[in-house]
Amino acid sequence: MTEPATVAPGRARGGRRDEILVTFTRHVAERGYDRANFGDVASELGLSKGTIVHHFGTKDRMLAEVQERYMRRALDEARAFLARLDRPEHRLAAFVHAGVRYQTDDPATTIAFQREVVRLTDEPGMETARAQRDAYRDLVVGVLRDGEAAGVFVPGDARLRSLQMFGSLHWMWTWFDPQGRLAPEAVAAEFCRTLLRGLGVPETAVAEAADPDGPAAVCAREVVGS
């Protein structure tokens, strides 16, 4: 039962901590935060509940750490592909390609984040993650406004449009199966086409931005697949 496994005492310092967080994240993704519990995580890793408490203190803080890690990565990568793309339709498409790709690249963290997003709004101790989420949304709103100013997108409410787009992406966790027949590239392409066409982008530019081998998708893949 003890399953020593620690085999290398001198090694893996702090590696345990990451293991715990990864397992906890998977449990949150599968059952939701409320039903995820220390006991199951501990027994799966062959540790005691006390160890988890030692590393993280409280359950709240564990979730906060999951959210912050996810958002920090998303923010970093978003800034990276924004720096590499200049056309508004490519930039917006990259957000979609990247957002879909997270579903297969790191499904556990992505699902854990998306199904517990609501806790960012009210729960205390989530200020950092909330600020990161707002910053991310502002990046998208900025792209929408820039595109509008440049005449690439037809005029409209950029904030509402960003929420419409995030809704489609954040809802994916309820139906998308990473192991399923439907390839993430196909989903991203279809979402890009409908979205960009809906913003008034000309058909040829839509096709290029949605293309899984086009500049936006390639850039997103390179940045995310690091």
Partner DNA sequence: CTACTCTGCCCGTACGTGCGGTCAGTTCAC
Partner DNA sequence: GTGAACTGACCGCACGTACGGGCAGAGTAG
The token pair at 110 is 């992505």
Closest CA to 193 of 182, 183, 204, 207: 207
| Element holding 40 (H helix, E strand) | helix 38-45
From the list 43-51, 89-97, 208-216, 217-225, the region that binds DNA by CB under 7 A is 43-51
Rg over alpha carbons for the chain, rounded to the nearest Å, is: 20
* Using rule CB under 7 A, residue 43 touches DNA: no
User: Concatenated DSSP letters for 105-161?
Assistant: HSHHHHHHHHHTTTHHHH-TT-HHHHHHHHHHHHHHHHHHHHHHHTTSS-S--HHHH
Q: Minimum Å distance from CB 157 to a copy of itself?
A: 5
In this structure, what DSSP letter does residue 202 have? Answer: -
Pick from DNA, a copy of itself, none: which does 13 bind, CB < 5 to 8 A by kind? DNA
Binding test (CB under 7 A) with DNA, winner from 38, 102, 136, 153: 38
Q: Minimum Å distance from CB 225 to a copy of itself?
A: 23
Query: What residues line the site for DNA (CB under 7 A)?
Result: 2, 5-6, 9-10, 13-14, 16-17, 35-40, 42, 46-55, 57-60
Please report, as ranges, the residues that interact with a copy of itself according to CB under 8 A: 32, 34-35, 115, 117-118, 121, 154, 156-157, 160-161, 163-172, 174-175, 182, 186-187, 190-191, 193-200
